[in-house]
Structure 1
Amino acid sequence: MTGSIQNPTQLSVQPQIPVNSTTLRANADMVHMDSDHRSAKIAHAFDWRACFSVWRKLWLYLAQSQQQMGVALITDNAIEQMKNNLDITDSDLQWALRRGSAEPLETIMNQTFLFGRAAGRCTAGRINYAVPAEFVTRNCHAMLVREALDIFIPRLPEVMNRLREFAVSNKSRRAVFHPCRQFTQISTFGRRAADWVLDLGRDLIVLEKIRDDILLCGTRGTKAEMTHLTRVLGGDVRSCEQLDITLCQYAGFKGCYDAEKISTERYERDLALAIGGALANLALGISRTLTEMAIFKTEQKYLGSTSTITDLICRTNNDALRIAADWTRWSSAGLAIGPVVLQKMFTDADTIIRRFESLIVEIDTSSIKPLVDEALPGIITRKITQRMVQAGRPRDLVIWYLSKFACQTLLEHDNIASPGAFFDMIRRTEYFKPVWWRIDYWSRSELDIRGCEKTVDEVCARGGSLDKLLEEYKASVEKVQSYKMPDEVKEELVESSSSGSDADDEDSFATTIRWTVQGEDAPATSDYQSDSGKTKS
């Protein structure tokens, strides 16, 4: 972490189109380089080092806010020294960990001492000044969760870019797919990839919404503590409310929840449930995509290993289902969802994302058997059944006729399936007259993919609907990563100070969500439309 309080992850969301499969495979090394760096960060997003660094950030934001409110004790030199010592050193961390499981208040006092020793004498008495001792513990969780989301969220647009490149380069290559909750379809790799990327886009929007709606607890405390803070600020209760507004502006939050109506434990519990549910839903969405990919019949090896692409798809799918199953077990068992569980959810979800992205980069569609000819008779038979039912024929009787024709065909051809003879029997039967002329029409498999290329271009090509989503995301990332320093926002904060507490008029997001009681952490243990049409959002 740096003194400018910036998110280290930078993202470029401009797709390189057109591309081919050779280009995708050539980018494999770039995938692993950035993924390993980001995964190392997400793996330590909730450890003690991250926690203590967040405490120092909160003390810095508090000092900046108090200085803005006119507290003379907070000097520019003290704030500058705080900025330069936000990262906790290895020696300070080990000294703190050697203390063992100290009481929360003792831990806060130890960290106050270490921060003051690192920042120098000018910060003495200015750290956690005039606010409750539990100020950092009440606000720490929201900061940790937001920083974890800032690391994790940019992973999704990167995968979406890989998928859109894959879709554009394979928009005409036919194959048989089994979309979720639908019958077998003849489609193209590009058309299915367009649906997969839109599924990830919905998950991205949900995670962004959670991230943007996270609230701080603020500086609220007991009546005696608030009386002391009011005296220091030289005002009334409105000055304390304005301090919270200024604190949120420096920290980059939209506001504070009402700590008098909602307990910190309750808010933290509901925030954890919202994030865990979103990550579990993301894992389920990736599992649905991998289930479609699991029918790929390919002997292609993965990165020169003995495992095939198909083997890795199945293993990744099992891991994605395990993430969703673990979350269901934890949330339904009434266990407290704390940092240990969230850390595991983020780490596992990041692992699944990395594997999925690597699969998209590595897979070679030319090695996959289309299986169109094998699947076409079954698809035509299903269409015959649907059309006959629409014409008023009883479904049971239609199925009986089709079963009878299938058995007769097998007997006549020594138990060898003969689709041509099967459909000839249908053509000679008066009962199936409503579909006679349609059988030859349905036998032209190219008609099933006539709208696929157009849909891929509308969604994934440059200027398509996906560009708008990624542009909005790029703007939000820049907003998240550009924490303004006080000198740049001094006039803005002064103007907001004169407006009183009007900024709190909007309904708090905390009133619409729910969070959990502190306790031991749990043990670590889309609807699609036909491919010839447009995707439902």
Structure 2
Amino acid sequence: MFSIDAPVELRDSEYCNYRSPLSTRYASKEMQYNFSDQKKFSTWRKLWIYLAKAEKELGLEISEEQIAQLEGAIHDINFKSAAEHEKLVRHDVMAHVHTLAERCPLAAPIIHLGATSCYVGDNTDLIVMKHGLELLLPRVAAVISRLSKFADEYKSIPILGFTHLQPAQLTTVGKRASLWLYDLLMDERALSRAKDDLRFRGVKGTTGTQASFLQLFKGDSAKVRALDKRVAELAGFDTCYPVTGQTYSRKVDIEVISALSSLGATVHKMCSDIRILASRKELEEPFETSQIGSSAMPYKRNPMRSERCCALARHLITLHSNAANTHAVQWMERTLDDSANRRLTLAEAFLTADATLLTLLNICQGLVVYPKVVARNIAQELPFMATENIIMEMVKAGGDRQVCHEKIRVLSHEAGAQVKQHGKDNDLIDRVKAEPYFAPIIGKLDQILDASTFIGRAPEQVTEFIQEEVNPVLSKYAGTLSEVEKPVALNI
């Protein structure tokens, strides 16, 4: 019932119906089509054609005219008729069987011959997931490509490292980006494995025994096995799952969604880092000239893209438990309490991953580093980090290690008090210079405080990592990267 504040003339408006933000704001048209009704039901019709063709090849009386009629109706779906049939029969597959039979009366007797509903339902889900992974993997590669360029460009720029979210020894901007990159390489591997491991359910019958097909082929087991293999080939799969119940094992869904959820964890970690760095004004995601950061605070430059990624990634992470719980309650050969859940979970996992990667690619295409802010923040902490080096230089100059340690300890605490209690800059080096004890090393202080001497092998690590780990993965996508890496404009 419409709310009292909804005018009658708006009742048929699309804006009076719930619309998923994944389709209206975030996900790509390609991924939306992959989970559309048109794709789903046209795939059902293709599967009925594959079945008819394979059955004909193996000797059943099916004519070329019947198959041709079905082929002419693949995309010509009367959704209104299907909805009316479903109201009567309360069965989506049979509703579409009847709808297709009306469109193809000559082929009506052989549509869905020997099959159970999961023949079209499950096999379509496997096709859609395969196509979904084929859409996602180049997007992952594009993010890896852009981020590897960023890491290489900034591999030698020192920046404060953090452990426990407290300043630690220095790293470099590029080395930190390589940590994000490594996680993404693991995601590419997991998603590739998930895609490569997908098989076809094939033609297995109502409880997976192929009894109906054995009856069709008069007990010829070899023909039933050949049918299974041939239908899979026509659908673009090399292999079928060797055993199934009425459905393929829902553990397959867990493997796929696990890889997608793991990608969500990667993105959340990376974009959380970016948000923290943005708060320190060291690094910033793209910010358009007309973009408004806050309705009340005109100066704000909020990291809304990274925040969106984190929001979507959290949703993606939670979907893993849905897949796991669904498989856990598939009693015996199957129960139907998977159906409604999977309609939501499978689509949302892929659409959310797609939207997250599009946003992340946009971020990686426009990351901005502010070296002077980075250097200023280092200057506030480096004097403390350099105390060990100062002690070592004093020992080299003939000083006593324990005496030196005590003097530098006292000066460090005094400088720390200036920073924490009075909000002043770190003046430890000025205090060292003013202390006569340290006169032997005053001339070496600039060298001791050179930030580039605190970053270890970070630049070399980045170079080696990109050459040895990143580039081989990117080579797999050499033919698609130039297209996928084109600048991404976010819808909203």
- Same fold per superposition (TM over 0.5): yes
Structure 1 distance, partners of 2:87, 2:265, is: 37
Partner of 1:272: 253
Structure 1 distance, partners of 2:199, 2:352, is: 26
Partner of 2:291: 305
**Which letter does structure 2 place at the counterpart of 1:157?**
A
Partner of 1:319: 311
Gaps of 5+ in 2: 1-23, 294-299, 330-337, 392-403, 482-492
2:92 aligned with 1:86: no
2:401 aligned with 1:419: no
Instruction: Say if 1:290 and 1:314, in contact at 8 Å, map to a contact too.
Output: yes
Which of the numbers 358, 377, 381 marks the counterpart of 1:378? 381
Structure 1 distance, partners of 2:92, 2:168, is: 60
Q: Which residues in structure 2 correspond to 1:452-471 (within 5 Å)?
A: 452-460=458-466, 465-471=469-475
**Which letter does structure 2 place at the counterpart of 1:166?**
F
Normalising by the residue count of structure 1, what TM-score does the alignment of the two structures yield? 0.64
Q: CA deviation at 1:86?
A: 2.4
Instruction: Say if 1:59 and 1:128, in contact at 8 Å, map to a contact too.
Output: yes
Partner of 2:37: 48
Partner of 1:482: none
**Which letter does structure 2 place at the counterpart of 1:73?**
E
Q: Quickly say closer, same or farther: Cα 1:442–1:111, change in 2 above 3 A.
A: farther
Q: Which residues in structure 2 correspond to 1:53-202 (within 5 Å)?
A: 53-68=42-57, 70-89=58-77, 92-100=78-86, 103=89, 106-118=91-103, 120-132=104-116, 134-178=118-162, 184=168, 186-202=170-186
Q: CA deviation at 1:200?
A: 1.4
Deviation track 1:104-134 (CA, whole Å, cap 9, x = no partner) reads 6x4323312333444x455342322233454
Q: Quickly say closer, same or farther: Cα 1:449–1:83, change in 2 above 3 A.
A: farther
2:449 aligned with 1:443: yes
Q: CA deviation at 1:214?
A: 1.8
**Which letter does structure 2 place at the counterpart of 1:290?**
C
Instruction: Quote the RMSD (CA, aligned, Å).
Output: 4.5
Instruction: Say if 1:146 and 1:211, in contact at 8 Å, map to a contact too.
Output: yes
Partner of 1:13: none
**Which letter does structure 2 place at the counterpart of 1:238?**
A
Deviation track 1:247-275 (CA, whole Å, cap 9, x = no partner) reads 2222222422244xx5345712x223223
Gaps of 5+ in 1: 1-34, 389-397, 430-434, 478-537
Q: Which residues in structure 2 correspond to 1:10-49 (within 5 Å)?
A: 39-49=28-38
Structure 2 distance, partners of 1:474, 1:62, is: 36
How high is the sequence identity, in percent, across the aligned residues?
A: 17
Deviation track 1:225-283 (CA, whole Å, cap 9, x = no partner) reads 94552354366223212211222222222422244xx5345712x22322322222112
Partner of 1:233: 217
Q: CA deviation at 1:165?
A: 3.3
Instruction: Say if 1:46 and 1:339, in contact at 8 Å, map to a contact too.
Output: no
Normalising by the residue count of structure 2, what TM-score does the alignment of the two structures yield? 0.69
Q: Which has the bigger relative contact order, CA under 8 A and spacing at least 6?
A: 1
Instruction: Say if 2:206 and 2:246, in contact at 8 Å, map to a contact too.
Output: no
Give aligned pairs, total.
Answer: 422
Instruction: Say if 2:26 and 2:355, in contact at 8 Å, map to a contact too.
Output: no
Q: CA deviation at 1:418?
A: 0.9
Structure 2 distance, partners of 1:241, 1:400, is: 82
Partner of 1:520: none
Greater Rg over alpha carbons, structure: 2
Q: State the secondary structure of the residue aligned to 2:112.
A: coil
